[in-house]
Structure 1
Amino acid sequence: MPPVPTVTATRTTSAPPTWAILERELFAVQDKAWRTFAGRYTDGAGRLIFRDTLGVGLDGRDGVDDFYEPFFNWPTLYLLGGSADILAAAHRHWQAVTDQLAEMSMLHERLERGYDWFHQGEGMLLFYGLCLARPDDADLRTLATRFADFYLPGGPNYDPEHRVIRAPHNGSEGPRWGFSDEEAYFPWSLALRPYGLPLDWIDEAAPFDELAGSPERARAYGRAMWDRMGRGDTLVNLASTSLVTNAYLLSGDRRYADWVAEYAGAWRDRLSGHEVIPDNAGLTGVVGEYLDGRWYGGHYGWAWPHGVHSVGMAALVGALNAATVTGDHGYLEIARNPLDTVMRHGEQRTADQMGTLGRRWRPHLAAMPADTTFMVPQRHDDSGWFDFTVLPNQLTVSLWHFSRDSADHDRVERLRELSNWDWTTVHTQRLKDEAGHEEPWWEFLAGRNPGFPERMLRSALETCDAKVTAIEADPVDPATGPSALDIHHWQDRNPIVTEALLQLTTGSPQILYNGGLAQLHVRYHDADLRRPGLPDDVAALVSDISPDHTVVDLVNVGGTPRSVVVQAGTYAEHELRTVGVDDDAPQPVEGRYVTVRLPAQTQVRLTLTLTLRAVPPMVQTPWEDR
């Protein structure tokens, strides 16, 4: 590895920028907030205080993800510059919750026994974050490869001849056929009925009410659902590629990269001859094998209530993973296709014509001056495309962020032109995925929203404060409250917010919630402590990530000199070509890192030129890089 170039800040700042003060405040308040959460909802061992049990009843496979989700972004906060204590706590909680779930028979060999990857992807985020934050942890490395081996040829889940994962519910015990471990009764028919039952074209889906005298009809419907949707492959299984990509990034073993390429390639091949990527394949790899030839109708697919949210997310996760491990951006067509397809069928609609899953967009549309805005169909069944809503720009912006392709940029701009609500406004809201502010960030990067950093940071501070207030005022005492505590209770009160810090400090969107791996444009290390993240007192702002240059401002707001290593890419996969300091002419450099020395109360602007993905990715630190 070539010597790491070093630059030194020379501009003093007695009055640091407001954004820098707010950024450091956000780190400080969150360091207190997570302790408040842990003190209220976890016991001395780190387990969630829960007096009920999981694994019983018709929906007995559900719940594992909900135990990990309250901590999902804690390692990310550490990676950005949070205290070492939060990483230690996140690891302790992961270990303790894993033991807790194992005692409830929800895990086998510390991994979920078998469930859908829409939920497994959510539950794995904590583990992926720990692996990225602690790449030298031998136990985490061992677990990462063991988990991935369940999906490689020779493991229980994958059929290499037909390139299929054998069932929608899968895991450490292999295919887990159907939807529950009890009688073939479809357990969610009451919950799904407001959205329309999946596979409403089958005879068994004729109107019935399992609570009003027709339980046998419900069982018949359940048996039909098991037969048609409870076996074979489903597009949402693409999220499992993160499990295997994580093993490759930690180990460098090409077996894992080859499997990701092979499995994502199978779904890319299934796109051939279809307008849009199918959501299902039978055990022989044939699209529509159990659905009378239909390309839609798979589990968490196009006819499911989540529609493009689950399909688009899984397609994007799988595409990014395949492109990461191979360097072949042709895999990105898997992600582009569903977005372009629903946009072709989009139309202008009024706010009261919003379909399901529209909660996130209510404040945006409520303030909209126009009568209509562009919406896309989320779902498809025998009647065609239906259920219109605003297209989640986490998908479109994340795709562009990875590719920097002009066509991906133009897709976001096209959506902006068609949208009649204000893309610059920061709405203070936090759903569990902690995303949803892609539009004002996009406008900031485009130079059309200069006040974004301060507004976004103030919004994040408000959100964190509201969560702490809710914890302190929570009428439910987990130690003495109802035994059947809602298992979403904890994630609703998680006070950690990382979206603002990811966008502003690294120039990156929020990590994809249904199982994505971190894709950071730049990241940082404390050069003195040799740990990930910004040092104490240091704030960062990435204001431009154009394909030809990156602009990073670093500010030391304190009275102690600090040193920062700026890394190009999450996995040091980008190559630095030049570094410009303030107004000086850029100087040629080599490698993936630059060290910045920040004397007390100084600031510096770096203008970097990068070659994206010029080096094979690997999870390691600058001090062990070779």
Structure 2
Amino acid sequence: MTDLSKLPQIIATRIATIPKWALLQRQIFSVLDRAAIEFADRYTRADGTLIWRDRWPGMDGSDDPYEGFMNMPLFYALGGSEEVYLRSRTIWDGITWQWTEYGQVHREYDAYYDWMHHGESNLFFYFFGLADPGVPKDRQRARRFAGFYNGEDKEALNYDADKHLIRSPISGSRGPRFEQTGEDWSTHREILDNYLPPFEDIPGIDRYATATPWSNDATYADILERINSRQSRGDVPLNLGATSLMTHAFAYTGDEKYRAWVIDYLGAWTERTARNGGITPDNIGLSGDIGEYNDGKWWGGYYGWRWPHGSFSLLEPLCIAGVNAALLTGDMAHLDLPRSQLDMLWDLRREENGIQVVPNRHYDAGWRDFRPMHPMYGTYLWNVSMAEEDAERAERGWTGHLFDEVNPAYHGYGASNGGHMGFNGNTAQWFKFIRGGYPNYPEALLEANLTTISNQIANFRAPENDPETMDHFRESMTIHMWQQLTPMVLEGLAQLTLGGPMHVYHGGLQLARFRYFDADAQRPGLPPGVAALVDRLADASAALTLVNTDALAARRVVIQAGVFGEHVFDGGSLDGERFDAAGRWLLVTLAPGATAQLELGMCRFANAPNYDTPWQSAASGPAPLIGREG
């Protein structure tokens, strides 16, 4: 346990008018403290299980119930109530048990699915590390789940360590799924009816169509035959999402094997890209050959350059893996693989109606589906590197009508504005603000978030969304109802207080410049009444404003350099007055009603990332329990 009296300390006493953004932040905390519990009360039982169907077939949907509640522990880590956190633990356990009974979760982890969906559901579990790293069950789960992908678990041999290759696009706690069945996809068919054909040679289907009748039994049989012959074996870039699972385990344990795995696996994809002439291939056979089951083609794999989402499904995991490797090592060269693919697509750009657009999909006939380059990928890289070359990647081809103002709509996948599920659609707008181009962004975003939260509350309270009376069997899409109705909209709180874009929704860790602890309550998050705004980032410094909105009580907040403690402070100034500070933490006392304007110097990536708090070391927790063999 750290003696807080030995930390660098400053005292802020300047009274100033409380800014609007600070009041909006505290209003969101207050509303979500109550709305989270009301939402949980409405849709879950006392044991955390969901009020829903008595059966659920197929592999799709095992991620969706977690998504509706996954922001609850993150909210606590930001400063939400302990009640919300404790309820989130009950719900995680309830969902995990329930989907085990349905047959899709095994040993507390999805038996088999792809890493887009593993990434989504794992966020719930990852956020427990930020909420309380001292829970033995979470520490042991982190080791066990990582073991499914590094060769340690003999029941889940997903990884070929010799070839640095995850053996199937569909994997999990039961190992690689080399043979997919009609039942596996049964609940997803009506959704996929609205997607382009997964293959170009499905009988009777136009290869350039925008819909495919998966609901037609004959077409479904043709698709399954092609999935099993061409897409069910071997590695795909989507699997790079597993690097977050390993980084999560490293943050708990500090065990070098997890860091080595991330570097080795990212390196394997770097080599494959070089072997393919600079384009990351989207399908690798079990031998390690590109296009082994796909007539030698580097495109056409599962969640690849063509189907179902196009470049999005490669750029996201490439960014996730590059950022994780940079976090683990401090070496920004690990960002070069995602950089190379952004540059490759940019080199293929063309102009349409005065806008620079890049290809999103590759067919047998070549590149198609040209769209504006999305700034979010460059933003994820710049957030870690602080390099101008990555800022330029975010800014080039900037499409002002899409990204110049807050977008509260949060459209679905593939929308041109980049918004998607999870109420996380303003990454580009945050980047514009932090670079000095959108000064009223904090107020605009927080007001939009409050409106969305109010609408979500009204929606989940509506009689037609009563879980006791609604028809859960009316369509398979009811599997998405919790994530569609959740009030846990955290984008503004996460971006503005932590100083970074919100995590990549499909399994990225929450990387940002700061996190906070309540020094008196000895818990994570901002103390009651305290608001925070990071409004400038540079390679060796950041600007942070803290406001105590309580005019009666002083508050003490510990500021941490980096969400994972990866940075160290190197001096700073309070309201223009210099002070000395060194180390991972800085203790700030805020007098009643006080505002502190801080310029904080820092040496970035000086520490290995971990889940330590000022009161506990994650790696020194209880040793794992060892079960019997045989």
When normalised by structure 2's length, the TM-score is 0.90
1:273-300 CA distances to partner (integer Å, 9 max, x unpaired)? Answer: 4232111110011111111111111111
How far 1:322 sits from its partner (Å)? 2.0
Matches within 5 A, 1:327-476: 327-349=330-352, 372-416=354-398, 419-421=399-401, 423-430=403-410, 431-476=420-465
Aligned residue number for residue 130 of structure 2: 132
User: 1:302 is matched with which residue: 294, 305, 311?
Assistant: 305
1:522-573 CA distances to partner (integer Å, 9 max, x unpaired)? Answer: 0100011111100001011111012232000001010211000000001111
In structure 2, do the counterparts of structure 1 residues 454 and 227 end up closer, same or farther at CA, with 3 Å as the change threshold? same
1:330-360 CA distances to partner (integer Å, 9 max, x unpaired)? Answer: 221222122222222233335xxxxxxxxxx
In structure 2, do the counterparts of structure 1 residues 599 and 158 end up closer, same or farther at CA, with 3 Å as the change threshold? same
Aligned residue number for residue 107 of structure 1: 105
In structure 2, do the counterparts of structure 1 residues 188 and 200 end up closer, same or farther at CA, with 3 Å as the change threshold? farther
* 1:171 alignment partner AA: G
The question of whether the paired residues in 2 share the 8 Å contact of 1:301 and 1:310 is answered with yes
CA distance in structure 1 between the aligned counterparts of 2:426 and 2:206, rounded to whole angstroms: 41
CA distance in structure 2 between the aligned counterparts of 1:191 and 1:597, rounded to whole angstroms: 53
Q: Which moved more, 1:387-396 or 1:31-40?
A: 387-396
Aligned residue number for residue 416 of structure 2: none
1:44-103 CA distances to partner (integer Å, 9 max, x unpaired)? Answer: 222111024222xxxx11111011000121111111111111111111110111111111
In structure 2, do the counterparts of structure 1 residues 288 and 213 end up closer, same or farther at CA, with 3 Å as the change threshold? closer
Give the SS at the match of 1:579: strand
The question of whether the paired residues in 2 share the 8 Å contact of 1:582 and 1:604 is answered with yes
User: 2:588 is matched with which residue: 592, 596, 606?
Assistant: 596
CA distance in structure 1 between the aligned counterparts of 2:590 and 2:400, rounded to whole angstroms: 44
How far 1:622 sits from its partner (Å)? 1.7
Aligned residue number for residue 627 of structure 2: none
How far 1:590 sits from its partner (Å)? 1.5
1:88-127 CA distances to partner (integer Å, 9 max, x unpaired)? Answer: 1111110111111111111111111011111111111101
Q: Does 1:223 align with 2:225?
A: yes
In structure 2, do the counterparts of structure 1 residues 84 and 224 end up closer, same or farther at CA, with 3 Å as the change threshold? same
| Paired residue total | 596
The question of whether the paired residues in 1 share the 8 Å contact of 2:459 and 2:465 is answered with no
CA distance in structure 2 between the aligned counterparts of 1:397 and 1:237, rounded to whole angstroms: 22
* 1:328 alignment partner AA: D
Aligned residue number for residue 359 of structure 1: none
Aligned residue number for residue 158 of structure 1: 159
CA distance in structure 1 between the aligned counterparts of 2:470 and 2:168, rounded to whole angstroms: 38
CA distance in structure 2 between the aligned counterparts of 1:86 and 1:459, rounded to whole angstroms: 23
Aligned residue number for residue 276 of structure 1: 279
In structure 2, do the counterparts of structure 1 residues 604 and 483 end up closer, same or farther at CA, with 3 Å as the change threshold? closer
Q: Does 1:288 align with 2:277?
A: no
The question of whether the paired residues in 1 share the 8 Å contact of 2:168 and 2:176 is answered with yes
Aligned residue number for residue 26 of structure 1: 28
User: 2:563 is matched with which residue: 547, 570, 578?
Assistant: 570
How far 1:194 sits from its partner (Å)? 5.2
CA distance in structure 1 between the aligned counterparts of 2:216 and 2:64, rounded to whole angstroms: 32
CA distance in structure 2 between the aligned counterparts of 1:508 and 1:340, rounded to whole angstroms: 23
How far 1:308 sits from its partner (Å)? 1.5
CA distance in structure 2 between the aligned counterparts of 1:440 and 1:528, rounded to whole angstroms: 35
Matches within 5 A, 1:167-182: 167-180=168-181, 182=183
The question of whether the paired residues in 2 share the 8 Å contact of 1:578 and 1:609 is answered with yes
CA distance in structure 2 between the aligned counterparts of 1:383 and 1:9, rounded to whole angstroms: 64
Give the SS at the match of 1:12: coil
Aligned residue number for residue 580 of structure 1: 573
Q: Does 1:324 align with 2:300?
A: no
Aligned residue number for residue 200 of structure 1: 200
Aligned residue number for residue 353 of structure 1: none
Matches within 5 A, 1:506-585: 506-558=498-550, 559-584=552-577
CA distance in structure 1 between the aligned counterparts of 2:479 and 2:89, rounded to whole angstroms: 20
How far 1:422 sits from its partner (Å)? 6.1
CA distance in structure 2 between the aligned counterparts of 1:40 and 1:614, rounded to whole angstroms: 45
CA distance in structure 2 between the aligned counterparts of 1:189 and 1:541, rounded to whole angstroms: 45
Give the SS at the match of 1:415: coil
In structure 2, do the counterparts of structure 1 residues 187 and 427 end up closer, same or farther at CA, with 3 Å as the change threshold? closer
Matches within 5 A, 1:475-494: 475-484=464-473, 486-494=478-486
How far 1:420 sits from its partner (Å)? 4.0
1:278-331 CA distances to partner (integer Å, 9 max, x unpaired)? Answer: 111100111111111111111111111211211111111111222222333222
CA distance in structure 2 between the aligned counterparts of 1:388 and 1:467, rounded to whole angstroms: 34
How far 1:41 sits from its partner (Å)? 1.2
Q: Does 1:505 align with 2:534?
A: no
The question of whether the paired residues in 1 share the 8 Å contact of 2:190 and 2:215 is answered with no
1:598-621 CA distances to partner (integer Å, 9 max, x unpaired)? Answer: 011111111011111011111110
Q: What are structure 1's unaligned runs of at least 5 residues?
A: 351-371
Q: Does 1:496 align with 2:488?
A: yes
The question of whether the paired residues in 2 share the 8 Å contact of 1:201 and 1:382 is answered with no
The question of whether the paired residues in 1 share the 8 Å contact of 2:202 and 2:222 is answered with no
When normalised by structure 1's length, the TM-score is 0.90
Give the SS at the match of 1:63: coil
Give the SS at the match of 1:92: helix
Give the SS at the match of 2:504: coil
Aligned residue number for residue 256 of structure 2: 254
Aligned residue number for residue 242 of structure 2: 240
CA distance in structure 1 between the aligned counterparts of 2:134 and 2:446, rounded to whole angstroms: 32
In structure 2, do the counterparts of structure 1 residues 589 and 214 end up closer, same or farther at CA, with 3 Å as the change threshold? closer
1:449-508 CA distances to partner (integer Å, 9 max, x unpaired)? Answer: 211111111111111001001111241321122131611111101111111111111111
1:415-462 CA distances to partner (integer Å, 9 max, x unpaired)? Answer: 33xx24264311222342322212332222122221111111111111
CA distance in structure 2 between the aligned counterparts of 1:172 and 1:464, rounded to whole angstroms: 35
Give the SS at the match of 2:520: coil
Q: Which moved more, 1:131-140 or 1:532-541?
A: 131-140
Runs (4 or more) in structure 1 with deviation over 4 Å come to 185-195, 201-218
CA distance in structure 2 between the aligned counterparts of 1:339 and 1:210, rounded to whole angstroms: 29
How far 1:195 sits from its partner (Å)? 4.3
* 1:344 alignment partner AA: D
CA distance in structure 2 between the aligned counterparts of 1:492 and 1:386, rounded to whole angstroms: 31
How far 1:193 sits from its partner (Å)? 6.0
Q: Which moved more, 1:208-217 or 1:82-91?
A: 208-217
How far 1:406 sits from its partner (Å)? 1.6
Aligned residue number for residue 369 of structure 1: none
CA distance in structure 2 between the aligned counterparts of 1:190 and 1:90, rounded to whole angstroms: 31
In structure 2, do the counterparts of structure 1 residues 345 and 194 end up closer, same or farther at CA, with 3 Å as the change threshold? farther
User: 1:93 is matched with which residue: 91, 94, 99?
Assistant: 91
How far 1:188 sits from its partner (Å)? 6.5
In structure 2, do the counterparts of structure 1 residues 282 and 596 end up closer, same or farther at CA, with 3 Å as the change threshold? same
Aligned residue number for residue 8 of structure 1: 11
Q: Which moved more, 1:35-44 or 1:506-515?
A: 35-44
How far 1:260 sits from its partner (Å)? 1.4
Q: What are structure 2's unaligned runs of at least 5 residues?
A: 411-419, 621-630
* 2:537 alignment partner AA: I
The question of whether the paired residues in 1 share the 8 Å contact of 2:202 and 2:219 is answered with no
CA distance in structure 1 between the aligned counterparts of 2:204 and 2:92, rounded to whole angstroms: 42
The question of whether the paired residues in 1 share the 8 Å contact of 2:166 and 2:235 is answered with yes
The question of whether the paired residues in 1 share the 8 Å contact of 2:214 and 2:220 is answered with no
The question of whether the paired residues in 1 share the 8 Å contact of 2:567 and 2:604 is answered with yes
How far 1:212 sits from its partner (Å)? 12
How far 1:214 sits from its partner (Å)? 8.3
Give the SS at the match of 1:179: coil
* 2:322 alignment partner AA: A
Aligned residue number for residue 43 of structure 1: 45
What RMSD in Å do the two structures reach over aligned CA positions?
A: 2.4
* 1:319 alignment partner AA: G
